[in-house]
Amino acid sequence: MEQQPTGTIHALDSVQFNEEIQGIMIPAPAPENASSFTALLELPPTQAVELLHLPDCDGTDSGRLSCCHVSVNQKPYLQNSSNGNLTFPTNAALIERAAKFSVFAGENTSPGEVRLFPAVSGLNLESVKNEPQETDSNPCSTQECVSDPAVENKNQRNVKRKEREKKAKPSSKKSKSVADETSGDGEKLPYVHVRVRRGQATDSHSLAERARREKINARMKLLQELVPGCDKISGTALVLDEIINHVQTLQRQVEILSMKLAAVNPRIDFNLDRLLASDGSSLMDSNLPSMVTPLMWPEIPLNINRPHYQQQWQLDAFHQPLWGREEDNHHFMTPENSLLSYDSPANSASLHSNQLKMEL
């Protein structure tokens, strides 16, 4: 007799329970007992699925009670599972939150998304665990839960954005704040206020080295312009190769030309005073022929006129008539020689001067 009223009471209660739960279920599932949710999580999936279907079956009072008890806790999480598949309990709110987080993630690049999802999942777990503890109304709880992970996510996102940007554009220049100057080599802070490239060291030593390297590179560019054929070459070693080649060729040319000059001119002599006396832009043009031609004069008149005064004559004879300089008395000079010397090359001098003007 005593049992019956209790049984009926229990049955009534279970019915009421079911109704209440169904009313609560739709907006947001809020478990009444924290332990129940964790208990659900600990359960293996098979048992959870069985528990899902338990409320449908009929059983004893105790069984019903237990079923109801379990169903109270489980139904909100098992709403979407329609089949008997071993699907994990899905949560509508969780899905919404995941969608919200994915909106955040959508702003960033793909690696960000990859990184965010584990964070999101972790956050979700945390937020879901927090939910059972809250006994407030559902919307408040959901809002709080959303805000907390959102804030956490933002922090994580900032950190991850920094990491991503580190990898993205290493060549972008940033400025460096004064407070950050003391940071070490590996520090990669988002705001840098001095001409320091992102991802590079900020020691005074490395700065000085970098300045030195830039100076050297600027000079190398100048060299590249000077040496013909170096503009298109990239790479210090090859450019240096070209420079070495060029210097070697120039030095060899000097050797060869000096040899040629020695061979061509048996006597190394030039008319200098005219050159030295007058300073003009056309100096080179006018004087070179006059300088060069007298060299050859000694050869011609030598044989004719004064053979025994050859050597001195070669070197010094032409100085006197040309410049009116009185050298030693033993220098033999006659006006005849001077006249002869000037007559013959007079015609050829004009030709040479034209050619030399073109060359210079």
Partner 1 sequence: MRNLSSLKKEFLRKWIKGLRKYNSQKKNMNLLERKKAIKLSADLAMASTKDKTTLWRKALFANTSTKIDDEQDMSTTSSTPQKKVIRKNSTNSYPLRKRITGRRKILRRNHTKERVEASFIAMRLVKKRTRKLKSLLPGGKFMDDSCLVDETLDYIESLKAQVEVMRCLVTSSELFINQP
Residues that bind partner 1 (CB under 8 A): 212, 215-216, 219-220, 222-223, 226-227, 236-237, 240-241, 243-244, 246-248, 250-251, 253-255, 257-265, 267-270, 272, 275-276, 283-284, 288-289, 291-293, 295-296, 311, 315, 345, 348, 351-352, 355-356, 359-360
Query: Which tokens is 179 given?
Result: 């407070």
Nearer to partner 1 by Cβ, of 178 and 237: the residue is 237
What spatial distance separates the first Cα and last Cα of the chain, rounded to whole Å? 135
For tokens 């690049």, name the residue: 109
- Please identify, using beta-carbon distances, which residue of 112 and 289 lies nearer to partner 1: 289
Nearer to partner 1, 23 or 228 (CB): 228
Contact indicator for 173, 195 with CB cutoff of 8 Å: yes
Q: Smallest distance, Å, CB 324 to partner 1? A: 18
Cβ distance to partner 1 smaller for residue 89 or 345: 345
CB of 99 to partner 1, least distance (A): 47
Q: How far is the CB of 192 from partner 1 (least distance, A)?
A: 25
- From CA 227, how far away is CA 26, in angstroms rounded? 82
- Least gap, CB of 181 to partner 1 (angstroms): 27
Q: Are 315 and 267 in contact (CB under 8 A)?
A: yes
8-state DSSP, 173: E
Paired residues of 205 in beta bridges: none
Which residue lies nearer to partner 1 by CB, 140 or 276?
276
CA–CA gap between residue 360 and residue 151 (Å, rounded): 79
Nearest approach, Cβ of 134 to partner 1 (angstroms)? 58
HSE, side-chain direction, 13 A CA sphere, residue 101: 32
* Minimum gap (Å) between residue 174 Cβ and partner 1: 25
**Four-CA torsion 190, 194, 199, 201, nearest 10 degrees:** -130
Residue 34 or 240: the one with the smaller Cβ distance to partner 1 is 240
Instruction: Pull the structure tokens for residue 14.
Output: 């279970």
What secondary structure letter does DSSP report for 144?
A: H
SS3 235: coil
